[in-house]
Structure 1
Amino acid sequence: MLVPVIAGVDGSAESLAAAEWAAHEAVRRDRPLRLVHAWNWHPRQEDGEMVTAAQRHLARRFLRQAEDRIRRICPEVGIEDEQVEGPATAALLKAAEHADLLVLGSRGLTGFTGLLVGSVALGVVARATRPVVLVRAGEEACDEHLLAGDGSASTRTGYRDVVLGVDLDDPCDEVIEFAFEEARLRRARLKVVHAWHQPSPIGLGPGDINLVEGPQRAEEWLGFLTAVLQVWREKYPGVEVAETVTEGRAQSVLVRAACGASLLVVGRRITERPAGPRTGPVAHAAIHHVGCPVAVVPHV
């Protein structure tokens, strides 16, 4: 049995956009789509059964709404649905363990609204052991594609770039492979971005690049990036790759690079910290401030 692409559904505009994106992704991956709605069991005995019945009815309505939308725009995908009990974050994390990919809606974009990504989405991204894609409300299939010759939106044109953020101090195979596969599925160009900054003289170590001129330093980083990607170019010969090294903070560089992309791919290290799991500064900035869908790929 094929492992499904799973989309969390809660009736919001964001979750409907996520379900639609997940449907197209399931078709690209030749996977079934599973829609999941999580609701909390009501602990009060006197009205627990009534509340449970109401929640099940609401869940069924949300799932049917998503199914109807998907069947209209993506009739070729196989759909199944599931209602699960428990706090939404925990329920979705459990569902993600059996997913090829988990897709969730994400609120907010820039400035103060960037704080509205949502506690459930943030909680899942920070703890998931499988890749999670966050999708904004209003995302449509044509947004992943290049404009037509007359400047209009179209789903018949090629896909926009897939953008991958790479940390050359610790390049991760899982993240790089995910991005190459997404580019292959779309027949899109993969734009690989590394952000670097001038080190202070005090911070330089024996193995650090210690060139005086910025252009020469950038050339060195580009050489490192090319070397890291060589094995993946050989594994994915059909994927066109554009390599970019830019001086600046990784968060800002990636947000700019993702403008006009079909998908941004970033990594998140799986660590157990005293304060609990975290998304990391780069993933945090991406999911708060990037307009296109963002894939967060966990790695050790």
Structure 2
Amino acid sequence: MERVIVVHVGCADCEAAARWASWEAARRGLPLRLHHDGTPPAPEETELVVACARDVADLSASPCPCVLVPEGAGEPVAAETVLGVDARNPAAEAVAFAFDTARRWDVRLRAVHAWRLPADAAELPFGIPEDDRATWEDHEVHLLSGALRPWREKYPEVEVLEDVRLLSPVQALVRQSATAGLVVVGRSARDAASAVARGLVARSRCPVAVVPS
């Protein structure tokens, strides 16, 4: 069965989404299909769904990876791929999608793990000792490195930059979106539209791929 890239009908007037879908379809060598009202294409036929960022709610429960393109986005570009990853519980499907995209585009993959200080750190009377903060951060760095190790072995041709940030996930990823070609995040099957995905899509400067687990 031939796979297709689908442009969601809700963004038919969004030139940026249509342009990105056409560009990616050509890179993958797949046909492009406009999704009209009615029965959507079967998941087993659909490689990717592309839509305007404002259609995130319509696609929040899609069984296929969705790329949401900001209105007014510039020309598609094969620039750095950014992966938002929880080093404690990495979403395998999103990680695989990001590595595969970086490999096909022949670009660097930046894996961003956002972390926060322990809840009791705010109660320290004289602030957070620098040694403690460095120890906590080193621990996060090791967690991320361990989470990515099997994927780096599977995709040895992909250059990976491990990026640990003391920020919220949305803040960390929005900052990187200014120079990225694509930001990739996972979506739990139990969480149709996570706060991270909604916040990121609303503020990202580049297309965002939301990959279901």
Q: Does 1:278 align with 2:192?
A: yes
> 1:35 matched to which residue of 2?
34
**Which digits, 9 at most, give the CA deviation of each residue in 1:19-65, with x for residues without a partner?**
22112111222222112222xxxxxxxxxxxxxxxxxxxxxxxxxxx
TM-score (norm 2): 0.88
CA distance in 2, matches of 1:236, 1:288: 31
CA distance in 2, matches of 1:256, 1:172: 21
**Which digits, 9 at most, give the CA deviation of each residue in 1:107-160, with x for residues without a partner?**
xxxxxxxxxx24xx3121x2111100011233343x52xxxxxxxxxxxxxx32
Q: Is the 8 A contact 2:73 2:205 kept in 1?
A: no
Highest relative contact order (Cα 8 Å, sep 6+), 1 or 2? 2
- Residue 118 of structure 2: which of 167, 192, 199 is its match? 199
Correspondences of 1:173-212 after superposition (within 5 Å): 173-201=92-120
Q: Is the 8 A contact 1:165 1:192 kept in 2?
A: yes
> 1:102 matched to which residue of 2?
49
**Which digits, 9 at most, give the CA deviation of each residue in 1:233-264, with x for residues without a partner?**
11111111001001121121111122211000
Instruction: Compare CA radii of gyration and give the structure with the larger one.
Output: 1
CA distance in 2, matches of 1:192, 1:11: 29
Kindly report the root-mean-square deviation, in angstroms, between the aligned alpha carbons of the 2 structures.
2.0
Give 1:169 shift. Answer: 2.3
Post-superposition, which runs of at least 4 consecutive aligned residues in structure 1 deviate over 3 A? 9-13
- Residue 166 of structure 2: which of 229, 247, 269 is its match? 247
CA distance in 2, matches of 1:11, 1:28: 21
Q: Does 1:23 align with 2:22?
A: yes
CA distance in 2, matches of 1:12, 1:2: 23
Q: Is the 8 A contact 1:6 1:96 kept in 2?
A: no
Give 1:283 shift. Answer: 0.5
CA distance in 1, matches of 2:140, 2:211: 23
Q: Does 1:6 align with 2:3?
A: no
Percent identical pairs in the alignment equals 36
Please, which runs of 5 or more residues in structure 2 have no aligned partner? 122-129
Give 1:11 shift. Answer: 6.9
Q: Aligned pair count?
A: 204
CA distance in 2, matches of 1:197, 1:138: 33
Q: Is the 8 A contact 1:96 1:130 kept in 2?
A: no
**Which digits, 9 at most, give the CA deviation of each residue in 1:154-181, with x for residues without a partner?**
xxxxx32100000122111111000001
TM-score (norm 1): 0.63
